[in-house]
Amino acid sequence: MKKFLLAIVAILCVSAVSAQKYENSIGLRIGYGAELQYERHFSAKNYLEANLGLYGYGNEFNLNATYNWNLCEWNWTPSAGKWFLSAGVGGSLAFAPKYFNVGVAGDVAFGIRFNKPWTVSVDYRPTIFFLHNAWGHGFAGVALTGTYNF
């Protein structure tokens, strides 16, 4: 009887862990620069994304924050995870030795949330700055992102 109860408790614990919803993600975004990325998921439909890093591997330091919505989700590979498309809008700050800049940033991401706590996506974040270089990063905003969800 004790073994039976122990087996039931173990099954309940394993199912609780596998049904866990991840609220936070941390990872790396690599494109024309490298950034640390943090995500705070408010629900299955929306999340806040913040990035901090170097643009162009040079002397420009960026801080970006976008509020994103999950637009679509597909179950093309059920054994691996769910594919998604998300988009959002937010702000951007750029710091360089000779100037400071403020801008508006968009974000579009296509990727897969694996059944394990990992997400991989390709995203595009165009930025329009207001003070210097009005077109911002344009097509250089394409990057590969990998995050760990917890």
CATH code of residue 99? 2.40.160.20
Query: Is 65 within the bounds of a domain?
Result: yes
Q: What is the pTM of this model?
A: 0.80
Query: Is 7 within the bounds of a domain?
Result: no
pLDDT < 70 positions in the chain: 1-20, 133-139
Query: Is 143 within the bounds of a domain?
Result: yes
Contacts of 48 (CB under 8 A, 6+ apart): 39, 40, 42, 65, 66, 67, 68
Query: Is 15 within the bounds of a domain?
Result: no
Instruction: Quote the pLDDT of residue 139.
Output: 65
Phi, psi for residue 19 in degrees, rounded to 5? -90, 5
Map tokens 């009005």 to a residue.
Answer: 134
Distances (CA, A) of 112 to 29, 59, 123: 15, 32, 12
> Which helix or strand (DSSP H or E) is residue 44 part of?
none
Asked if 130 contacts 102 with a C-beta cutoff of 8 angstroms, the reply is yes
What residue numbers bound the domain in which 35 lies? 24-149
Query: Is 17 within the bounds of a domain?
Result: no
Query: Is 13 within the bounds of a domain?
Result: no
| Total domains in the fold of the chain | 1
Instruction: Quote the pLDDT of residue 81.
Output: 94
Cα 39–chain centre separation: 6
Query: Is 4 within the bounds of a domain?
Result: no
Instruction: Quote the pLDDT of residue 17.
Output: 43
> Which helix or strand (DSSP H or E) is residue 137 part of?
none
Instruction: Quote the pLDDT of residue 124.
Output: 95
Instruction: Quote the pLDDT of residue 34.
Output: 93
Question: Hey, what's the torsion of the CAs at 82, 85, 90, 95, to 10 degrees?
Answer: 80
Query: Is 88 within the bounds of a domain?
Result: yes
